[in-house]
Structure 1
Amino acid sequence: MEWVCCCCGRWRVSVELIRGRQRYRLVRRYPAEFGGGKDVLGEVGTVTELEELLRRRTPLDLADLREAA
């Protein structure tokens, strides 16, 4: 499962099962014209921690994310 920001699609949050636990991974993607690629900005285990990570590392909050198609 993955969520993407509504504004530009650059910020993504994926939910992954790692060692039997759900982890929320925040990633910043770069457009192809800038070489593409991505940076993992952090991984957390709860929605509360995800809110804090978004607040610290991005201009977004949870309301700015939509499920990726």
Structure 2
Amino acid sequence: MSEWVCGCCGRWRVSVELIRGRHRYRLVHRYPSRFGGGKNVLGEVGTVAELEELLRRRTPLSLADLREAA
């Protein structure tokens, strides 16, 4: 499984999983530990075009704002 995070704060994450031979992109918002931590799954899509639309609707980010997590 690979994962990308936003370059601004690291709280927005997109994970890529291979499920039954197909890639699934999951958008997650992580809360800072001072607010109790945790995460909120905002959506899961099957294509990069759908991921771009999901990012546009649910976050202030675009695909260009993401970088591979270390």
Structure-2-length-normalised TM-score: 0.96
Paired position in structure 2 for 1:53? 54
The RMSD of aligned alpha carbons is 0.5
Paired position in structure 2 for 1:8? 9
SS of the aligned residue for 1:60 comes to coil
Distance 1:9 1:39 in 2: 14
Distance 2:37 2:51 in 1: 24
Superposition deviation, residue 19 in structure 1: 2.4
What is the identity percentage for the equivalent residue pairs of Structure 1 and Structure 2? 87
Structure-1-length-normalised TM-score: 0.97
One-letter code aligned to 1:10: R
Higher mean C-alpha deviation, range 11-20 or range 46-55: 11-20
Number of equivalent positions: 69
Question: Superposition pairs for residues 28-67 of structure 1, below 5 Å?
Answer: 28-67=29-68
